[in-house]
Amino acid sequence: MTHRMAVRVLRAALPAALLLAGASAGGGRKGSPLIATFSIVAFDPATGDLGVAVTSKFPAVGNGVPWAKAGVGAVATQAAANLAFGEDGLALMSRGLSAEQALKKVTDADTGREERQAGMVDAKGDAATFTGKNCFSWAGGKTGKHYAAQGNILTGPETVEAMARAYEASTGELPDRLVTALEAGQAAGGDRRGRESAALLVVRKGAGYGGKGDRWVDLRVDDHPDPVKELRRLLGVHHLYFGRTDRSKVHKIDEPLARELQRVLSRRGFYKGEINGKYDGPTRKALEDYMGWENLEERIQKDDTLDDVVLQYIRTHES
């Protein structure tokens, strides 16, 4: 069996989680997977959101690099990745250490630190980045207001610089800004070995499905020829199904809209009543059943209004 065939067999046999398991607090390059990548960790002071975006020529990068906890911080651990940086970094920040203090503590305790790279940001917006002296070139990082960007095995420093500029110039919600930074880094050169995977993790207290947990956005592209582009597409899907209703863009369900809805719901088999333009109990139940069927239940309104995103979805898909 050739070396290349052996590597293929190993990758097929072992999931990314097992490949990542070799990273330990005291280890060096031996037994540690090389996750050459570029990433950004950031904090949004307007919302308290914390997140990580990452892409790499490494399969399933979202399995090991991004870590985050609402009200605590976010961590990206890469290069000869030490996954303990994620868990331990969050634990230290939860006890009141700043991102800079937490990052120094975990790297000081790691004999393999010169092969590591990591970025951290805490819930106050303080950010720090670390690149070991033995990371493969080009490797380095940059911190700015409420963020840290870093990468290794890059085409050059322009990748990190482009990420920083794009993030600082961007507006909107944190998930979109993080992906914008990745897109800029990719356009500037990115990982010099190529592309394979990407991931986005953003946390907010109570923002999980049904208002439970803190994982607001948790998207992964494990193997794709253009992972950042695919990550952007998945974020659009996430916005559709899990985005919060903009109350400035809701529609009052008046008689014409009620008739329109009744016709659609009747055609789909959710409504059995008369097409009378009344937004009554049966019509409301039919609409809510339809929205649940289409995975739009997070956008159900309990008054006589309809989310604009849902209305556009109905008019696009049910015409």
Please state the rounded mean pLDDT for residues 15-33.
Answer: 37
pLDDT tens-digit series, residues 48-64: 999 999 999 999 999 99
Q: Are 147 and 180 in contact (CB under 8 A)?
A: no
Please state the rounded mean pLDDT for residues 199-219.
Answer: 90
The confidence score (pLDDT) of residue 297 equals 93
Q: Are 195 and 23 in contact (CB under 8 A)?
A: no
DSSP H helices in 170-252:
174-188, 227-242
Q: Are 79 and 36 in contact (CB under 8 A)?
A: yes
The confidence score (pLDDT) of residue 174 equals 98
Which 8-state DSSP code applies to residue 243? P
pLDDT tens-digit series, residues 35-52: 568 999 999 999 999 999
The confidence score (pLDDT) of residue 14 equals 32
Question: Which of these ranges, 15-24, 151-160, 208-217, has the smallest mean pLDDT?
Answer: 15-24
The confidence score (pLDDT) of residue 34 equals 56
The confidence score (pLDDT) of residue 212 equals 81
The confidence score (pLDDT) of residue 209 equals 81
Q: Which domains does the chain carry?
A: 3-242 (3.60.20.10), 247-317 (no CATH)
Q: Is the pLDDT of residue 8 over 90?
A: no
Please state the rounded mean pLDDT for residues 198-215.
Answer: 89
The confidence score (pLDDT) of residue 36 equals 61
Q: Is the pLDDT of residue 6 over 80?
A: no
Distant-in-sequence, close-in-space partners of 252: CB < 8 Å, separation ≥ 6: 304, 305
Please state the rounded mean pLDDT for residues 89-118.
Answer: 97
Rounded CA separation 69/76 (Å): 12
Please state the rounded mean pLDDT for residues 167-196.
Answer: 95
Q: How far is CA 133 from CA 116, 138, 189, 309, in A?
A: 9, 11, 22, 49
Q: How far is CA 114 from CA 17, 109, 121, 139, 295, in A?
A: 23, 12, 21, 12, 47
The confidence score (pLDDT) of residue 88 equals 97
Inter-axis angle of helices 308-317 and 255-268, to 10 degrees?
A: 50
Q: Which residue has the higher pLDDT, 138 or 21?
A: 138
The confidence score (pLDDT) of residue 9 equals 33
pLDDT tens-digit series, residues 271-308: 999 999 999 999 999 999 999 999 999 999 999 999 99
Q: Is the pLDDT of residue 20 over 50?
A: no
Please state the rounded mean pLDDT for residues 94-100.
Answer: 98
Question: Which of these ranges, 11-20, 217-226, 303-312, has the smallest mean pLDDT?
Answer: 11-20
Q: How confident is the model at residue 28 (pLDDT cuts 50, 70, 90)?
A: very low
**Rg of the Cα trace of the chain?**
23
Give the CB-side neighbour count of residue 26, counting CA atoms within 13 A.
0
Mean pLDDT score of the chain, rounded to an integer? Answer: 89
Q: Is the pLDDT of residue 31 over 70?
A: no
The confidence score (pLDDT) of residue 33 equals 53
The confidence score (pLDDT) of residue 156 equals 94
Q: pLDDT > 70: what percent of the chain?
A: 89
Which 8-state DSSP code applies to residue 245? P
Whether cis (ω within 30° of 0) applies to the bond prior to 138 is yes
